[in-house]
């Protein structure tokens, strides 16, 4: 990064880790930007030429550099004042790195840590806010045509060791969740649930643990404080980004199911993770991942409690929204599905390095966002075998951008 960035971020702006999606308004194709971390609640809709500009807000390109690239790409001059105004607008929306975003981040962390529990931020958007209606909604996922059949599980009464679950919107993927949680409902249920979810906004430290209990319309799911305290004493650095839990939905989406199907008091350990298969080739990343999983494994062992590890994450992301040059076709989707199922054989066989190598070989072209929680689960559990229960996909936008996901159980 250039030294100019530190001297004048208005001339070398840096866009924060935002998400974007193409949308259509009439004949126009536009791009909507938003902040998955929840630090900013704003959304910004940009025409394609302005999206071209903000794609170069990387700290390496000056406003002048961007003007030259714009001229080359669109054949017209870009007034510096136009870029400067865009920089000001993005900074006010907390979309840029800099003092304003850092101050907001620090205040948000103070506010989060002062709260007695982590509230249900997705209630009313992704699922019902009323407890009775939510129970009915969850029950509906089990009894729907896409939900699990009524035959008893072949693993009924066995101690369940792990689950892989989606993080996709419950209204669409609810029945796929139900396939996994039916296995839990009929199993011998453990004392503690280690919930490892995808941090969709990314993490500097690869893992983020919080010691806060989570509230849902069905009540409070308590954190296992002794286990979490032991983990904190061994690996305190992985508690620094606890604010990542504030807006992340991956763990929250699991809780109404747990509260519905578990028949005895239970506790949880909420963890977010964010690292790619290719990043494990970096010795520093590998060392950090190994260190955290070792500390977590030791904390589980020291607790003396039975645990189930739940990995909450999705599989492939294909289409314009995720960086492909064209929308998926039926052929490209079915090809991706075949690769998903091949890849999941490594997961069923409890082969974490084989799972990582499969994605590395593909160069993660299909963007397996649930890699880090699923890999962590495979490193932690001691089970005989995993089983794919259900596989499906969700359509994420008007251009058929597609997300795939599955539920698996381990005994």
> Beta strand pairing status for 307-312 and 162-165?
parallel
Query: Packing angle between helix 170-186 and helix 131-143, nearest 10 degrees?
Result: 80
Cα 281 to Cα 275, 284, 360, 365, distances in angstroms: 11, 9, 9, 17
CA-CA distance, 170 to 249, in Å (whole number)? Answer: 11
Report the CATH fold assignment for 3-106. Answer: Outer Surface Protein A; domain 3 (3.90.930)
Sequential DSSP letters for 333-392: HHHHHHHHHHHHHHHHTT-HHHHHHHHHHHTTTT--TTHHHHHHHHHH---S-EEEEEEE
What are the residue ranges in the chain where pLDDT is below 50?
Answer: 1-5
In 28-79, which residue ranges form alpha helices assigned H by DSSP? Answer: 48-54, 63-74
Class at the top of the CATH hierarchy for domain 122-410: alpha beta
* Per-residue pLDDT, 28: 86
Tell me the pTM.
0.91
**Other beta carbons within 10 Å of 337:** 17
Cross-strand partners of 163: 310, 409
CA-CA distance, 215 to 197, in Å (whole number)? Answer: 17
> Beta strand pairing status for 267-273 and 192-198?
parallel
Reduced to 3 states (helix: H, G, I; strand: E, B; else coil), residue 205 is coil
* Per-residue pLDDT, 24: 85
User: Which sign does the torsion angle of CA 222, 227, 229, 234 carry?
Assistant: negative
In 99-224, which residue ranges form alpha helices assigned H by DSSP? Answer: 99-114, 131-143, 170-186
The residues of the chain that CATH labels 3.40.830.10 are 122-410
* Per-residue pLDDT, 7: 59
The residues of the chain that CATH labels 3.90.930 are 3-106
Whether 390 contacts 312, CB under 8 Å: no
Of 229, 299, 250, 234, the residue nearest 118 (C-alpha)? 250
* Per-residue pLDDT, 349: 98
CA-CA distance, 17 to 198, in Å (whole number)? Answer: 15
Whether 377 contacts 311, CB under 8 Å: yes
* Per-residue pLDDT, 174: 98
CA-CA distance, 228 to 239, in Å (whole number)? Answer: 10
């Amino acid at each position: 990064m250039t030294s100019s960035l530190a001297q004048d971020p208005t001339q070398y702006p840096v866009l924060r880790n935002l998400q974007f999606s193409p949308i259509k308004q009439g004949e126009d194709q536009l791009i909507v930007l938003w902040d998955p971390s929840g630090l900013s609640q704003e959304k910004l809709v940009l025409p394609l030429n302005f999206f071209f500009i903000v794609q170069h807000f990387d700290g390496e390109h000056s406003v002048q550099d961007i003007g030259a690239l714009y001229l080359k790409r669109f054949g017209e001059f870009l007034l510096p004042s136009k870029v400067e105004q865009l920089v000001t607008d993005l900074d006010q929306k907390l979309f840029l790195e800099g003092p304003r975003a850092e101050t907001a981040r620090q205040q948000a962390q103070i506010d989060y840590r002062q709260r007695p529990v982590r509230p249900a931020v997705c209630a009313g958007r992704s699922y019902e806010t009323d407890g009775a209606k939510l129970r009915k909604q969850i029950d509906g996922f089990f009894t729907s045509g896409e939900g699990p059949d009524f035959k008893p599980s072949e693993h009924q009464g066995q101690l369940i060791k792990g689950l892989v679950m989606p993080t996709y919107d419950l209204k669409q993927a609810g029945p796929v969740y139900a396939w996994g949680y039916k296995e839990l409902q009929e199993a011998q249920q453990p004392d503690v649930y280690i919930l490892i979810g995808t941090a969709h906004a990314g993490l500097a430290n690869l893992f983020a643990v919080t010691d806060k209990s989570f509230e849902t319309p069905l009540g409070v799911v308590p954190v296992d404080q002794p286990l979490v305290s032991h983990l904190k004493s061994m690996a305190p650095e992985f508690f620094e980004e606890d604010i990542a839990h504030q807006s992340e939905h991956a763990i929250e989406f699991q809780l109404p199911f747990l509260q519905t199907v578990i028949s005895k008091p239970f506790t949880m350990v909420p963890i977010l993770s964010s690292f790619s298969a290719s990043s494990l080739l970096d010795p520093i990343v590998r060392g950090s991942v190994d260190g955290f999983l070792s500390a977590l494994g030791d904390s589980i062992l020291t607790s003396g409690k039975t645990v189930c590890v739940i990995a909450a994450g999705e599989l492939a992301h294909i289409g314009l929204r995720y960086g492909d040059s064209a929308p998926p076709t039926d052929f490209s989707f079915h090809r991706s599905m075949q690769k998903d199922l091949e890849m999941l054989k490594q997961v069923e066989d409890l082969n974490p390095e084989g799972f990582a190598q499969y994605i590395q070989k593909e160069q993660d072209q299909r963007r397996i966002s649930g890699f880090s929680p699923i890999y962590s689960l495979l490193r932690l559990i001691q089970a005989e075998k995993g089983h794919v229960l259900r596989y499906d996909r969700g359509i994420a936008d008007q251009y058929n951008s597609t997300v795939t996901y599955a539920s698996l159980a381990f005994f």
